[in-house]
Amino acid sequence: MTLVSEAMNRSLVTVPPDAPMADAVALVRRTGAEHVLVMEAENLVGILCACDLRGAPGDEQVCDRMTVPVLTIRPEAPVEEAAETMSECGVGCLPVAVGGLVLGTVSDAEIARAGVRGSRPHCHHAHRRAKLVRH
């Protein structure tokens, strides 16, 4: 059994919630990332999929398009659990976190490399968007 910690991508691609979408688009183009974690200081506040960027006005803020709440998974969980969660919840990526600390991400690509059958084509997930409420 492969654990999420063994399969996860440890390279985090992040953007702040108040960044313009043009910055997020440029970041995805530069890094080739399919998923961007939206971080405010050290806190994960949302996630963007590359498909969220299509047709986005460049002056729109990331927080207007990010998916919230963000589902996460523990590093000690089996990859099969990640695949099942992603399939049931209709998401293409799960940040891997312990107590609020984000360690990496696991997506359909990492799950497939671990030899577990993927759930569905990427970007066919239901979007849950909400404005970031600042306290």
pLDDT digits (tens, 9 = 90+) for 40-65: 999 999 999 988 888 888 789 999 99
Helices (H), the chain: 4-7, 21-31, 79-89, 108-113
Tally of domains in the chain: 1
Residue 16: give the domain boundaries: 4-113
Total-model pTM: 0.85
Is 52 within the bounds of a domain? yes
CATH code, 32: 3.10.580.10
Is 18 within the bounds of a domain? yes
The model's pLDDT over 78-124, given as tens digits with 9 standing for 90+, comes to 999 999 999 999 999 999 999 989 999 999 999 999 888 765 544 53
SS3 133: coil
Is 134 within the bounds of a domain? no
Q: Which of 70, 45, 58, 55 is nearest to 19 (CA)?
A: 58
Is 129 within the bounds of a domain? no
Contact indicator for 8, 103 with CB cutoff of 8 Å:
yes
